[in-house]
């Protein structure tokens, strides 16, 4: 895989531009934001670094073959024509999935099976043997993306989704996905530029991702393995060198990160996850309701994910968000607050005028991530 190897990095809706920036900073060429993904080019070492160092990547994929066909027979033939031997030994194991859109082919499970059959038959032709299927930890994971008649076969360099950083030991209800949490911090523009507060921290995901960023620690520092470890061309020396170089860029942050929650279990979960990430020195954790929390000095940035509380009565949610807004206006002057919520109605009850809005998805829930500048006398415009 030379320096012009095409790469597709998947992310969540709304994080394409921050991921594109991350890729450029990492040295990718031809960076192009797509829908829930960014394409670029890079070499094998870059694929390792992308997996290890990108904060908003969910999966790193390498497209190896693109073709157009209009029926299943032609599809099977096109898949079988690929020189699979360069990617997988016959004694290795394989997993295949398929995603379809646009109508020509109907069933994704059937297309996954057909893809697997074509690959397996490629080996049978040559060796009279075939690789086994192993859905959990295969040597090679292949994705087929079929849009109308346009088909792409991609190798999955990540294995498990990259939100699995390896630090989460405990959770409370409704934890944010780690990739989304990192995306919130990057979208806000904060990077150890002042104190950082998450006053409703739950299991601490936002604070942990902020601490990893501030300390310039690779997000996958605690992750034991990646899909590319099992690739035929895995270059362990190159991986170890790039990992050591990335680890050596860690620094001591200037500012403290504060995580608090009214709930004891949430405070404890955050403390446990911080210990597991080795970040306990960088984040101060306390049990405290937001209504009583006083801001540290100097003013900095607050990012939080309050309950959206579809289950609470509307009056209560309105009252709760109004109380958050009142507290921000009264006590957090000079700060910038960012709030993510799926409850647009409740957000209006903050009584603050958003300076910026980004639509993001927390799982299936459409959310809006809003920025509020808390200057003296700030009120709804």
Interface residue with ligand SAM, options 19, 200, 213, 337 (CB under 6 A): 200
Binding string, residues 148-187; x marks residues near ligand SAM by CB under 6 A:
------------------------x-xxx-----------
Neighbours of 239 (CB within 10 A): 19
With respect to ligand SAM, which residue has the nearer C-beta, 97 or 170? 170
- Which listed range, 2-10, 79-87, 210-218, 301-309, lies at the site for ligand SAM (CB under 6 A)? 301-309
Interface residue with ligand SAM, options 158, 220, 305, 342 (CB under 6 A): 305
Interface residue with ligand SAM, options 221, 239, 261, 358 (CB under 6 A): 261
CA distance 23 to 241: 20
Q: Is 218 in the site for ligand SAM (CB under 6 A)?
A: no
Site for ligand SAM in 322-351 (CB under 6 A): none
Interface residue with ligand SAM, options 6, 166, 278, 289 (CB under 6 A): 289
CA distance 311 to 303: 23
Contact (Cβ atoms closer than 8 angstroms) between residue 372 and residue 355: yes
Cα distance between the two ends of the chain: 54
Peptide bond preceding 298 in cis form (omega within 30 of 0): yes
- Which listed range, 6-14, 60-68, 200-208, 240-248, lies at the site for ligand SAM (CB under 6 A)? 200-208
User: Which of 34-37's residues contact partners 24+ apart within 8 Å by CB, and which partners?
Assistant: 34/8, 36/10, 36/11, 36/12, 37/8, 37/9, 37/10, 37/11
Q: From the CB of 168, what's the least distance to ligand SAM, in Å?
A: 9
Q: From the CB of 267, what's the least distance to ligand SAM, in Å?
A: 9
77-114 core/surface letters (b: 16 or more CB in 10 A; e: else): ebbbebebeebbebebbbbbbbebeeebbeeeeebbeb
**Binding region for ligand SAM (CB under 6 A):** 172, 174-176, 199-203, 205-206, 261-263, 266, 289-291, 305-307
């Amino acid at each position: 895989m030379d320096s012009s190897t095409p790469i597709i990095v998947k992310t969540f809706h709304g994080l394409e531009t921050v991921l594109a920036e991350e890729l450029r900073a990492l040295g990718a060429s031809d960076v192009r934001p797509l829908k829930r993904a960014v394409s670029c080019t890079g070499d094998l070492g870059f694929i390792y670094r992308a997996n290890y160092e990108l904060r908003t990547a969910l999966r790193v994929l390498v497209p190896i073959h693109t073709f157009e066909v209009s029926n299943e027979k032609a599809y099977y033939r096109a898949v079988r024509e690929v020189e699979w031997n360069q990617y997988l030994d016959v004694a290795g194991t394989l997993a295949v999935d398929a995603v379809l859109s646009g109508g020509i082919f109907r069933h994704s499970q059937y297309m996954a099976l057909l893809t697997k059959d074509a690959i397996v038959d490629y080996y049978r032709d040559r060796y009279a043997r075939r690789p086994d299927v192993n859905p959990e930890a295969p040597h090679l994971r292949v994705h087929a993306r079929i849009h109308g008649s346009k088909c792409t076969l991609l190798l999955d360099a990540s294995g498990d989704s990259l939100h699995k950083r390896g630090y989460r030991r405990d959770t409370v209800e409704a934890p944010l996905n780690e990739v989304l949490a990192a995306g919130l911090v990057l979208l806000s523009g904060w990077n150890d530029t002042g104190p950082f507060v998450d006053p409703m921290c739950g299991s601490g995901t936002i604070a942990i991702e902020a601490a990893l960023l501030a300390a310039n620690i690779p997000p996958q520092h605690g992750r034991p393995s990646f899909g590319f470890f099992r690739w035929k061309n895995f270059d362990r020396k190159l991986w170890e060198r790039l990992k050591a170089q990335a680890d050596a860029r860690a620094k001591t942050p200037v500012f403290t990160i504060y995580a608090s929650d009214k709930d004891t279990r949430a405070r404890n979960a955050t403390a446990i996850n911080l210990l597991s990430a080795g970040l306990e020195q960088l984040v101060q954790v306390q049990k405290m309701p937001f209504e009583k929390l006083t801001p540290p000095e100097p003013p900095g940035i607050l990012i939080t994910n309050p309950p959206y509380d579809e289950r609470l009565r509307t009056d209560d949610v309105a009252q709760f968000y109004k109380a958050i807004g009142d507290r921000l206006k009264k006590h957090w002057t000079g700060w910038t607050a960012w709030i993510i919520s799926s409850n647009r109605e409740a957000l209006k009850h903050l009584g603050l005028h958003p300076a910026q809005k980004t639509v993001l998805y927390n799982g299936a829930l459409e959310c809006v991530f809003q920025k509020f500048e808390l200057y003296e006398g700030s009120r709804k415009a």
